[in-house]
Structure 1
């Protein structure tokens, strides 16, 4: 089904489509009253996979990894495969930071050299933060996906929306990545490897006042994100002693920004990975490995009582979920569009799902159109 009609027709058609899907989509048992479905971009193909809410592939972007919405709930930032990036030891193209809309328009290249990783918007929408090895091209490239071989030359940078006015926040030969910003724009939280051990660190938005949040020998913490309260950080950790188990068991936790009140948020010995908090402050998205080659997105509950709900239903890789600030759209990375014969976690593309029916938006705007 292709949506190519005008705005009002698309809204009516998508509303009807969403209504039909409610009976077959597990998560829609939690519905949002008074919220119209998301109007998808003109010309995209809407997927109606059984068990899922409606979704589309972001066009014109190509292969990409994790992506995050900006404050307008329309623009995204991601690392995208680029011929300008350095190549891997096997000659594969690397990734660089870009911004774009979830319609695949307004594409801006933020950095044009090196190899980039995690990136994020500041809440004012004018400033970006991103990870790159651009200033350490003399060092071994390493592997962003292998804890034993993380790129030791990765640094944190800020810039404006055009990739100009670049400021380097860190200056060392340690792995620093997995960086995000608090909703009030005052704090930056990130992962840093020192002496082979991963921990969470925090600093002020200008790069000053660095301090370590976690101090664990076996646990390897990363992927930190602030909850809407600007005080609580959700993250995942695995144990170095279990790293060779596949899929590697991981646990999701929360901690206060002063390093206190660490709480467990997942309670299985599965790979519980890639958490992302929802704007309502009551839930979080995360990825669970059903098998070694089938990873799915779930909705978790911070009440510690309600079992998680499965969001994606596709054999293969579904990961890196994030939600728009208005709580209506989930962006995630999937191999489902890669075609036959493509390896696991290869040919990844960005997808957007209409999750309006889950009612995950900010509390003050719930129920508003």
Structure 2
């Protein structure tokens, strides 16, 4: 007869009691007390850098070279955003925070933190990091002439750019220890630096024209490298530091007279500019666009051969109001077409302004300014996209 659980209960109880009596009680543990805490600002090495600033926005399927589009600024006028050598920051000019005219800001692409690095006086333009270390920044400012914003140009003269009395300054990346790098009467601006840190190129009116000059990073050994009447400006070095690309006008006859009359008033009319490439001393300069329109903001692709730039070449000449500027790529060594220049590939398709393109130092990303997704008409913001190169 199999015993039931009820009949076994007295036996189980006595067995458990015996086991409990024969087992020593565990020694009491000492209290743990308060666990010490520690804080650190170190970032774990296993977290890779990624662009987290701003927010993702919808791309245009026609823009096949631009993936993972992100908007980085929101409100005001934001433009001329240029990369730090490590690819983790941008320096840009902006009228954010109620600024009456452009000031320089540094944007951290990982955190989104944006810090003003200019003094807040005068108007600034063309901020750029020192290469190859990124241990300094340079930018042009009018603050030596006046702490106030310069007056806007007389629009009765048509669409013109002011040549304000800029001087070129250098500072620490946070804007401290600001020092004059190159000054003098007239316009000294549009300064950028070679990837190897050897030279700075800039535009100046010091010789009664708008020409390109280069200098050493300490402001010495200033050399004029262009010598043709007209506007030469907005120059950038190729990634291999062997060439320059820039925008230029070559007016003749009445157009040259008009150019010189405006220059005497501190103005320039940028409606006819072509993209040029040449050597570091300006030698062998040649146009790589010949469309008679406003082409500007050129920058080399990582191969130091192709060039991306902004142009209104597809905007109808009779269009009234703001023209449509798009981004294009041209192979500077490509075969010449019937226009007298290599063919260009259109990159953007937004019906408005797209300009100031610049590739990240590793060539993976493209930053540019655009009117797209603006909260008010004409608002310009900075965008970044992962570059998709169909040729690779």
- Is the TM value for this pair above 0.5? yes
Q: Is the 8 A contact 1:60 1:104 kept in 2?
A: no
Matching residue of 1:149:
162
**What 5-or-longer segments of structure 1 have no aligned partner?**
1-10, 12-37, 86-92, 360-366
Deviation, structure 1 residue 143: 4.8
Give 1:193-272 correspondences, 5 Å limit.
193-194=205-206, 196-217=208-229, 219-240=230-251, 241=255, 248-272=271-295
Partners of 2:181 and 2:363 in 1: CA distance: 30
Map 1:265-344 to 2 at 5 A: 265-289=288-312, 290-291=314-315, 293-305=323-335, 307-339=343-375, 342=377
Alpha-carbon RMSD: 2.9
1:102: which partner in 2?
A: 109
Spell out the pairing of 1:101-180 with structure 2 (5 A cutoff).
101-102=108-109, 105-112=112-119, 113-123=121-131, 124-137=133-146, 141-143=150-152, 149-151=162-164, 153-180=165-192
Q: Which residue of 2 aligns with 1:88?
A: none
Structure 2 SS opposite 1:163 = coil
Larger Rg: 2
1:65-99 CA distance string (max 9 Å, x none): 111111122210111114575xxxxxxx2111111
Distance 1:187 1:337 in 2: 37
Give the structure 2 partner of residue 75 of structure 1.
89
Contact 2:199/2:217 (8 A) holds in 1: yes
Q: Give per-residue Cα distances to partners, 1:296-316, cap 9 Å, x unaligned.
A: 001121223262211110101
Question: How far 1:107 moved relative to its partner?
Answer: 1.9
Count of residue pairs brought into register by the alignment: 311
Q: Counterparts of 1:246 and 1:137 in 2: how far apart (Å)?
A: 24
Match of 1:24 in 2: none
Contact 2:124–2:140 (8 Å) recurs in 1: yes
Q: Secondary structure at the match of 1:169?
A: strand
Instruction: Report the Cα distance in structure 2 between the residues aligned to 1:264 and 1:298, rounded to whole angstroms.
Output: 15
**Aligned-partner SS, 2:389:** helix
Conservation of the 8 A alpha-carbon contact between 2:75 and 2:374: no
The CA distance in 2 between the partners of 1:164 and 1:154, in whole Å, is 19
Displacement of 1:193 in angstroms is 1.5
Specify the alignment match of 1:351 in structure 2.
383
* Inter-partner Cα distance in structure 2 for 1:80 and 1:148: 17
TM-score (norm 1): 0.76
- Residue 235 to residue 247, structure 1, CA distance change in 2 (3 Å): closer
Pairwise mapping of residues 38-57 of structure 1 onto structure 2 (< 5 A)? 41=52, 44-52=55-63, 53-54=66-67, 55-57=69-71
Alpha carbons of 1:169 and 1:115: their partners in 2 closer, same or farther (altered >3 Å)? same
Cα deviation code 1:308-354 (max 9, x no counterpart): 211110101111111111111111111112246x2xxx310001121
How far apart are 1:148 and its partner, in Å? 6.3
Instruction: Describe the superposition over 1:116-175 as per-residue Cα deviations: whole angstroms up to 9, x where unpaired.
Output: 111111121111111111111079815599756310x21101111111122211221211
Worse-matched range after superposition: 225-234 or 316-325? 225-234
**1:143–1:199 Cα change, 3 Å:** farther
Cα pair 2:163 2:187 within 8 Å, conserved: yes
Question: How many angstroms does 1:109 deviate by?
Answer: 1.4
Gaps of 5+ in 2: 1-47, 260-267, 316-321, 336-341
